[in-house]
Structure 1
Amino acid sequence: MLIKEAAKSSGLTKKAIEYYIEQELIAPKILCNGYREFEDKDIEALKKISVYRRLGLSIEEIKEVQRDLSGSALKKFTLKKELKVQREELKRSMLEELSRGKSYREMEDRLRSLEEGNAVIDRLLDLFPGYYGHFLSLHFARFLQEPISTEEQKAAYKEIIEFLDGIPALEFPPDLQEYFTESTKDFTSENIHDIMKETKKSIENTEDFLKENKEIIEAYHKYKQSQEYKDSPAYKIEKLLKDFNSTNGYNDIFIPAMKRLSPAYNDYYRQLEIANEKFLKSYPELEKLYNERD
């Protein structure tokens, strides 16, 4: 079909279709007479593009979705929109505070902190694939809302941005990417928030957590030491992540800088260390396993 019929079938204007062709979102066949011929696959692509645009995706974001075969790009943009909604709510709250007499200087400082935190979160989403990037972004987002006021915090922020700008994006081999995508496809932001809440509870009340989950913990760690697990894609992904974090400076640069940047994260990290010490004290037979993993 020609562009007139394509417009009718897709529900788009001729001008919109021509724009999407110009932006290389679709590439219909060109006939000998110079007219474009639109096939069913082109109409389907136009309908998808229309939905993406109405949902607020930019041209570049749509291109990334088209290139992505795993579906992770759509999840990334979903999370970005979720975070954007949260930021807009914070800004609305700041406007309300201004209307009640809060100083513009204080709002300026809070806005700067919000923007600087957003820069870190966006980079994490772009660097780490799928669910893992989502988890890291939501995990660190709660620690990136504090004012960056001291010289130590400013230096730590600069170090974090330079680190995130300087490392390559993490990529899984095709077979592991397929497994990773399939095994995490049903995870949502709500699931991640639930995991973070449970983690917080476990490190704040470690003794109770260990008593209540003794059988589950023992079965889990027995499986983690089994040959079945060591032959699994999950083990390969865990090792790949560990190697990436170790060789690219995530453990030695990013985490220490985050602790200097955010007092709340520093407190959380210390609680995590204390909880881990209690865990290993309760399960000394696992200390060798953890040392090997470190």
Structure 2
Amino acid sequence: MLLKEACARSGLTKKAVHYYESRGLLAPGVRDNGYRDYSEEDVAHLREIATLRRLGIGVEQIGSILKSADKGAALEKYRYLSQLKMERLQTVQDCLSTLARDYDVERIFDRLQCMEMDEYTLRERMALAFPGNYGLFLSLHFGRFLNEPVDTPEKRAAFRAVIGYLDEVELYLPPELEEGLRQALAAQDAAALQARNQAAMEDVLKDPQRYLEAQEEQIRQYLEFKRSEAYRNSPAGMLEQMLLDFQRRSGYREVLLENLKVLSCAYRDYTERLQRANAAFYKRFPEAQSLYQK
């Protein structure tokens, strides 16, 4: 079919269709007379693009979604970002209600100043900074600690450092490893999986000694498996090694984690508890240091 009909059936303008073609989102056939020839599949593609755009997803992000083998899993990140936007809008609504009631400009001014550098921005940047849904999992993990206002010079400097890091960081995963990560996460609801991980970690941190004693045999079997050549050469093993290498060379610990400690007392407390649990773990399983302290 010709462009006019494709536009009518997709609800898009000619300029929009040409733009999406120029960005590589679709490639219609070309007739002998030079006119583009749009197939039923092209129209379905255009309707898919139009739907995602109307949901507020950017063209670059749409490209990654269209290429995904599990589009539902790929969309999870953008559903989460939409949730953050709604939370921000609710904060604005609350400020308007308060201002309408008592017109305390100074109090609302201070609150909005904090919103200029608030947890939503960090959580959004984190979700978008890494491939696949890896960023979503990091954002869900760290986001729960980012509920404190950025209200001191030290916190503002830490905030800028984290934003700068997230803007510059690049994590490249070979296609086969990115696909392995996608498959590992695709079958899970990201928030639910993260909640289960957090609950399991809290159980460990509550009483590390008790947990290590109760799980000693399973942990020893797991460490033996991780030392095996089969694991090292598996997609999971190679992915873990690549992520560890990335953390070492990118400033993940020195920039991201250290500044998050400045931004959040809750995160600082969490890392102190984690260090104590790690010390107990390595004391009981010294052979694990070669696996995790590289």
TM tier relative to shorter chain: 0.7 to 0.9
SS in 2 for 1:187: coil
Q: For the structure 1 residues 172 and 100, does the alpha-carbon distance in structure 2 shift closer, same or farther, using more than 3 Å as the test?
A: same
Deviates more, 1:200-209 or 1:261-270: 200-209
Q: For the structure 1 residues 157 and 7, does the alpha-carbon distance in structure 2 shift closer, same or farther, using more than 3 Å as the test?
A: closer
The answer to whether the Cα contact below 8 Å between 1:114 and 1:144 also exists between their aligned partners in 2 is no
Which amino acid in structure 1 is aligned with residue 51 of structure 2? V
Which amino acid in structure 1 is aligned with residue 288 of structure 2? L
Q: For the structure 1 residues 271 and 47, does the alpha-carbon distance in structure 2 shift closer, same or farther, using more than 3 Å as the test?
A: same
Q: For the structure 1 residues 110 and 191, does the alpha-carbon distance in structure 2 shift closer, same or farther, using more than 3 Å as the test?
A: farther
Q: For the structure 1 residues 44 and 240, does the alpha-carbon distance in structure 2 shift closer, same or farther, using more than 3 Å as the test?
A: same
User: Which runs of no fewer than 5 residues in structure 1 stay unpaired?
Assistant: none
| TM-score of the two chains, using structure 2 as the length reference | 0.83
For 1:137, the equivalent position in structure 2 comes to 139
Is 1:19 paired with 2:19?
Answer: no
Which amino acid in structure 1 is aligned with residue 81 of structure 2? K
For 1:289, the equivalent position in structure 2 comes to 288
Is 1:179 paired with 2:177?
Answer: no
Which amino acid in structure 1 is aligned with residue 130 of structure 2? F
| CA deviation vs aligned residue, 1:52-109 (integer Å, no higher than 9, x gap) | 2343324443244345567565333232223323333444455555566594444444
Which amino acid in structure 1 is aligned with residue 176 of structure 2? D
| CA deviation vs aligned residue, 1:96-149 (integer Å, no higher than 9, x gap) | 555665944444444444442233223322322223211111111122221112
- Supply the RMSD in Å over aligned alpha carbons: 2.9
Taking only the aligned residue pairs, the percentage that are identical comes to 32
Measure the CA separation in 1 of the matches of 2:243 and 2:105: 43
SS in 2 for 1:201: helix
Measure the CA separation in 1 of the matches of 2:14 and 2:133: 33
Which amino acid in structure 2 is aligned with residue 140 of structure 1? F
For 1:228, the equivalent position in structure 2 comes to 230
SS in 1 for 2:172: coil
Q: For the structure 1 residues 265 and 111, does the alpha-carbon distance in structure 2 shift closer, same or farther, using more than 3 Å as the test?
A: farther
Matches within 5 A, 1:42-121: 42-66=42-66, 71=71, 73-95=74-96, 98=99, 101=102, 103-116=104-117, 117-121=119-123
Which amino acid in structure 1 is aligned with residue 226 of structure 2? K
Measure the CA separation in 1 of the matches of 2:231 and 2:131: 22
| TM-score of the two chains, using structure 1 as the length reference | 0.83
User: Which runs of no fewer than 5 residues in structure 2 stay unpaired?
Assistant: none
For 1:162, the equivalent position in structure 2 comes to 164
Q: For the structure 1 residues 101 and 271, does the alpha-carbon distance in structure 2 shift closer, same or farther, using more than 3 Å as the test?
A: farther
SS in 2 for 1:57: coil
Matched residue count? 287
